[in-house]
Amino acid sequence: VTDALEAGCETHCSRSQNQFRAKQIHKADSEVMFRRPPGPIANPIESCDTMEQAFRKSVEKYKERPFLGTREILEEKDEVQSNGRVFQKFVLGEYSWLTFADMDAKTEAFGRGLREIGQEPKCNIVIFAETRAEWLVAAYGCMKHNIPVVTIYATLGEDAIAHGINQTEVTHVITSAELLPKFKTILHHTPKVKHLVYMESPLKKQPELAGFKDGIQLHAFEAVLEAGERSTI
């Protein structure tokens, strides 16, 4: 989570860290002396105690600057290697950028959308998905609405996934269309989960939505965003 969420406040943090580094006070052929800055530093970014506050401060300062860039997958090709193995290769389009202001609006809408489908503040939510733009939108959206994020690696086996979900007592899970089929089995071992939000396939493939345990509600990522844009929460 930390690596991904540094994006919104990297400029602030790096500048502040440079200011607070120890100062060289003496240098000789055989020694160098440094002295730490006077007094402890409580916050690397002034007046920010949380990641959400750091993101908000970055939005205020860099509103129209590019924040997050993605490339559309135009085509998927099979590429035969010299040893006969076949690798899948993506043909990508140009970058499309969201500004800090765009990202702020999108994350706010997603957080509201989660609230509309029953996710409560201060209640855990799981993100079980590959690294992608929607992952970051989801994480910041949760932070904006005081929803603790539990991350589960997309490479884990079904037993480990079920264990992580049960230990954190979540009712909502955010995943991807590619990983959605795993839940046809996992949900039989995670009794508290009632909602699955899935990020749509970048290849525009429609996921199979049949065969899930009774009582489970499935929500497309974009549908949650749209619900949040209409929400008055």
Domain of 158? 112-230
Residue 4, pLDDT > 50, answer no
Q: CA 203 → CA 3, 67, 143, distances in Å?
A: 26, 23, 29
Assigned domain for 53 exists: no
Q: CB of 192 within 8 A of CB of 170?
A: yes
Assigned domain for 203 exists: yes
Assigned domain for 48 exists: no
What is the rounded CA–CA span in Å between residue 182 and residue 189?
A: 12
Predicted confidence band of residue 189 (pLDDT cuts 50, 70, 90)? very high
Partners of 220 in beta bridges: 198
Assigned domain for 137 exists: yes
Q: Residue 10: its pLDDT value, please? A: 55
Is 119 or 81 the better-scoring residue by pLDDT? 119
For residue 181, the tally of other CB atoms under 10 A from its CB is 13
DSSP-derived pairing of the beta strands 23-27 and 86-99: unpaired
Q: Can you give the length of the chain in residues?
A: 233
- Of 165, 143, 144, nearest to 153 by C-alpha is 165
Assigned domain for 14 exists: no
Q: Domain of 183: which CATH number? A: 3.40.50.980
Residue 11, pLDDT > 70, answer no
User: How many contiguous H segments (helices) and E segments (strands) does the chain have?
Assistant: 8, 9
For residue 175, the tally of other CB atoms under 10 A from its CB is 23
What is the rounded CA–CA span in Å between residue 187 and residue 177?
A: 16
User: What digits encode the pLDDT tens for the residues 139-159?
Assistant: 999 999 999 999 999 999 999
Residue 18, pLDDT > 60, answer no
The verdict on pTM exceeding 0.95 is: no
Phi/psi zone of residue 211: left (φ > 0), alpha (ψ -120 to 50 degrees), beta? Answer: left
Predicted confidence band of residue 42 (pLDDT cuts 50, 70, 90)? low
Q: Residue 9: its pLDDT value, please? A: 54
How is residue 121 written in tokens? 């503040």
Residue 12, pLDDT > 70, answer no
- Of 190, 213, 55, nearest to 128 by C-alpha is 190
Assigned domain for 40 exists: no
Assigned domain for 136 exists: yes
User: What digits encode the pLDDT tens for the residues 84-103?
Assistant: 898 888 899 999 999 999 99
Average pLDDT, the chain: 89
Assigned domain for 179 exists: yes
Total number of domains constituting the chain: 1
